[in-house]
Amino acid sequence: MNSQVEIIATLNPLSESLEEYPYEYETYSSSSINEERQSLKDKVCELGKSACKENWDGEGAAPVKQSVIDIAYKIIDELPNLSILYRPDISVTPHGEIDFDWVVNQDTMLTISIGISDEIAIACIVDEEHSHDSEKWAGKLPFLVNKFITRLYNI
């Protein structure tokens, strides 16, 4: 039996309000996906619902685009074993981006930001060393993310 889970979120253009659930969200059951990954995907879906329209924050915020949500799901699927990582905080920005933040302490943190142009920005502080970079989404977790997570948690 093939144990795969496919998460699909699509914008429903007929929806006029957030209460009408602007994203259709389907989960195909599988025993292979762990509960933490699913929980993170649920959070992304919830944030997508709340930030899917222009001015969602009442202060001119850009909407989160479907391509940003799709990349967020793929990043969640590719993160290293989440059982050994602290759970990231996930948020949306007024620029229509989705951010993943891991904060171990004041001197150890990582942020992955998925931009509206499918650009992945990465910022990391480990032992007072600051690193940052960005790259276009290429269909898999950027090398630097793996490198920084490894350094962040001394894996």
pTM (predicted TM-score): 0.74
**Two structure tokens written together for 58:** 């009442």
Q: Residue 86 in contact with residue 102, Cβ under 8 Å?
A: yes
Confidence tier at 141 by pLDDT (50, 70, 90): confident
What percentage of residues in the chain have a pLDDT greater than 70? Answer: 74
Q: What rounded mean pLDDT belongs to the chain?
A: 77
Measured between alpha carbons, how far is residue 18 from residues 22, 23, 53, 132 in Å? Answer: 6, 9, 9, 35
Residue 49, SS3 per DSSP:
helix
Quick: pLDDT tens for 117-133. Answer: 888 999 988 877 888 88
Quick: pLDDT tens for 75-117. Answer: 998 887 654 467 889 999 999 999 999 888 888 889 999 998 8
**Two structure tokens written together for 25:** 């969200």
